[in-house]
């Protein structure tokens, strides 16, 4: 994909707007936006009235978290093509990600493309970011009243309710829809998946029972019941259900069965299953479980995977990140939720929404520049390449790209459950503000742990712990188990991000 995009960039002519646009889009899709910029910038100068070129230039800049030129280019595109829904949506999203008021821009995009529900979802996110939480919920409820089987909307509504009101009633949208169509197997499946994502396994089992009654006992719910019973430690029941399903072929079910083997003390079976599928797992979901299985079974390959100390970097960035108090003040204004997010590791705190490093706030731009430099230095000192290794087997070079960036605010008793980041290559913790030691509690309260998988009930102590300090950045492989120890009182404010795999 990357080489094909580069071929198109080489062969495109700036004076041919169609070829320049096609090459630019291919580069954006391949994640090499920076390589497309010279062509797109030359082409918009040669073809200043070609709206699609301005759109491609804007999207390339947006993909690089450069939102000022992105917005400028998309505004030009919108002037040239005022009835283009994709351009209107791209402009609105760029403004939202930059931290600018964007609801009015989404309203305009909806007028241009009233049937495009992705615009409605983005508008809901903009309402949330502007603190208009009730309006965000109401907008989704209104659309779902017209079409209860809009599954993306149901999922978004459940997650929004979870963040703003907690678990009570967060699946009310699904329940209302099922009251109207109790035999809808797809709706039941969406509800159960949401409960599983929320780790509400008892509620998921109760929903499975209701789904079978409502749909005539479809076997489609067997896998969901197996997952829930495995996660609640009902080993024999889960074994029977997984056996009934037969050998797993879908990666999601493979991961769940590996978890079940680990949780029930069958590390060698977990390793064998994970090893047979790891080559078919481009997202690296199985590597953390392989690490745990290898460690539990005494397999030295875990050292090859995670044992090299150079995989983890601890960097005190000091003055390079600017005024930490000012940064903390800006971040606190972005923590609009009142409850922890669904499907995330946060326990006893909140997490910001949207790509943090895309924002225009000067404190965040300064931090981003320092982070990029630190990541480049960390990558430069990594051990030599190792074939098939999830971190070291990847080609290095090119610009630092982020697949996600956010802030977490934990309060007394808060922690991160042990977890991994399947969307990343390198993951992180940057400490902005911490409670005083006397409030935090005795060591290791609030410390970062690496290699611990207690969420699976495994007796695997961390192979490294890191003391948090304001201005400290910790980098580690995204496939490495990580979490935090709870602390007694005060506020723990961090920035976290995932570095995307380099584009070779």
- pLDDT per residue over 276-334, tens digit each? 999 999 888 999 999 999 999 999 999 999 999 999 999 999 889 999 999 999 999 99
pLDDT band at 416 (very low <50, low <70, confident <90, very high): low
pLDDT band at 343 (very low <50, low <70, confident <90, very high): low
Q: Is the pLDDT of residue 346 over 60?
A: no
The whole-number pLDDT of residue 116 equals: 97
The strand ranges marked E within 130-192 are none
Question: How many residues are given for the chain?
Answer: 504
pLDDT band at 440 (very low <50, low <70, confident <90, very high): confident
SS3 content of the chain, % helix, strand, coil (to 5): 55, 10, 35
Same fold, 172-307 and 309-499: no
pLDDT band at 216 (very low <50, low <70, confident <90, very high): confident
pLDDT band at 344 (very low <50, low <70, confident <90, very high): low
The whole-number pLDDT of residue 448 equals: 94
> pLDDT (tens digit, 9 = 90+) per residue, 459-492?
899 999 999 999 999 999 999 999 988 888 889 9
**Rounded mean pLDDT, 240-257:** 94
Round to whole Å and give the CA distance between 61 and 183. 47
The whole-number pLDDT of residue 443 equals: 87
**Rounded mean pLDDT, 230-239:** 96
**Rounded mean pLDDT, 103-110:** 98
Phi, psi (deg, nearest 5) at residue 340 = -65, 150
Residue with structure tokens 């000091």? 318
Q: Is the pLDDT of residue 23 over 90?
A: yes
Helix (H) or strand (E) holding 371: helix 362-380
**Rounded mean pLDDT, 256-270:** 97
The whole-number pLDDT of residue 63 equals: 94
Round to whole Å and give the CA distance between 149 and 177. 8
Q: Is the pLDDT of residue 457 over 90?
A: no
Indicate the fold that domain 309-499 takes in CATH.
Answer: Jelly Rolls (2.60.120)
The whole-number pLDDT of residue 504 equals: 63
pLDDT band at 398 (very low <50, low <70, confident <90, very high): confident
Q: Is the pLDDT of residue 22 over 90?
A: yes
**Domain extents for the chain?**
2-143, 172-307, 309-499
pLDDT band at 395 (very low <50, low <70, confident <90, very high): confident
Share of the chain above pLDDT 70, in %: 97
The whole-number pLDDT of residue 471 equals: 97
Lowest mean pLDDT among 266-275, 300-309, 405-414: 405-414
Residue with structure tokens 């029941």? 237
Round to whole Å and give the CA distance between 3 and 95. 31
> pLDDT (tens digit, 9 = 90+) per residue, 24-70?
999 999 999 999 999 999 999 999 999 999 999 999 999 999 999 99
Q: Is the pLDDT of residue 104 over 80?
A: yes
> pLDDT (tens digit, 9 = 90+) per residue, 182-197?
999 999 999 999 999 9
Q: How far is CA 151 from the centre of its chain?
A: 19
The whole-number pLDDT of residue 454 equals: 83
The whole-number pLDDT of residue 27 equals: 96
- How is 5-45 classified by DSSP, letter by letter? HHHHHHH--TT-HHHHHHHHHHHHHHT-HHHHHHHHHHHHH
CATH superfamily of 2-143: Tetratricopeptide repeat domain (1.25.40.10)
The whole-number pLDDT of residue 445 equals: 85
Q: For the structural domain made of 172-307, what CATH number should be given?
A: 1.25.40.10
The whole-number pLDDT of residue 345 equals: 58
Nearest alpha carbon to residue 450 among 484, 416, 421:
484
Lowest mean pLDDT among 200-204, 311-315, 350-354, 384-388: 350-354
Average predicted confidence (pLDDT) for the chain: 93
């Amino acid at each position: 994909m990357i080489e094909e995009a580069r071929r198109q960039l080489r062969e495109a002519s700036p004076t041919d707007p169609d070829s320049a646009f096609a090459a630019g889009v291919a580069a954006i899709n391949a994640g090499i936006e920076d390589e497309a910029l010279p062509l797109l910038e030359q082409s918009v100068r040669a073809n200043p009235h070609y709206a699609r070129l301005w759109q491609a230039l804007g999207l390339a800049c947006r993909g690089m978290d450069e939102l000022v030129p992105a917005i400028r280019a998309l505004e030009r595109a919108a002037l040239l093509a005022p009835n283009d829904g994709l351009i209107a949506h791209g402009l609105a999203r760029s403004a939202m990600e930059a931290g600018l008021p964007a609801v009015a821009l989404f309203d305009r995009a909806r007028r241009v493309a009233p049937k495009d529900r992705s615009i409605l979802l983005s508008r809901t996110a903009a309402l949330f970011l502007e603190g208009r939480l009730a309006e965000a919920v109401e907008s989704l409820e209104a659309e779902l009243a017209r079409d209860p089987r809009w599954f993306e909307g149901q999922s978004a509504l459940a997650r929004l309710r979870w963040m703003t009101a907690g678990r009570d009633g967060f699946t009310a949208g699904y329940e209302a829809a099922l009251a109207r169509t109790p035999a809808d197997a797809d709706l039941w499946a969406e509800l159960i998946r949401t409960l599983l994502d929320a780790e509400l396994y008892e509620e998921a089992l109760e929903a499975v029972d209701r789904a079978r009654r409502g749909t005539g006992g479809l076997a489609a719910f067997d896998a969901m019941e197996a997952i829930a019973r495995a996660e609640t430690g009902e080993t024999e029941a889960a074994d029977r259900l997984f056996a009934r399903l037969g050998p797993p072929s879908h990666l999601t079910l493979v991961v769940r069965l590996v978890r079940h083997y680990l949780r029930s003390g069958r590390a060698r079976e977990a390793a064998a299953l994970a090893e047979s599928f790891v080559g078919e797992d481009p997202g690296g979901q199985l590597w953390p479980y392989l690490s745990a299985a290898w460690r539990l079974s005494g397999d030295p390959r875990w050292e090859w995977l995670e044992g090299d100390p150079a995989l983890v970097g601890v960097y005190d960035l000091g003055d390079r990140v600017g005024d930490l108090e000012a940064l903390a003040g800006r971040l606190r204004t972005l923590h609009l939720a009142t409850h922890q997010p669904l499907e995330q590791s946060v326990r006893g705190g909140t997490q910001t929404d949207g790509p943090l490093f895309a924002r225009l706030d000067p404190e965040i731009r300064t931090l981003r520049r320092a982070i990029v430099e630190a990541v480049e230095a960390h990558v430069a000192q990594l051990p030599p390449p190792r074939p098939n290794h999830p971190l070291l087997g990847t080609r290095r070079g090119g610009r630092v790209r982020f697949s996600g960036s956010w802030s977490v605010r934990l309060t007394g008793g808060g922690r991160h459950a042990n977890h991994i980041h399947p969307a990343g290559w390198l993951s992180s913790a940057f400490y902005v503000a911490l409670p005083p030691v006397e409030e935090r509690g005795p060591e290791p309260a609030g410390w970062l742990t690496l290699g611990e998988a207690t969420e699976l009930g495994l007796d695997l102590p961390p192979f490294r712990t890191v003391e948090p300090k304001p201005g400290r950045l910790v980098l580690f492989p995204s496939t490495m188990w990580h979490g935090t120890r709870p602390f007694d009182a005060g506020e723990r404010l961090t920035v976290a991000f995932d570095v995307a795999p380099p584009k070779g």
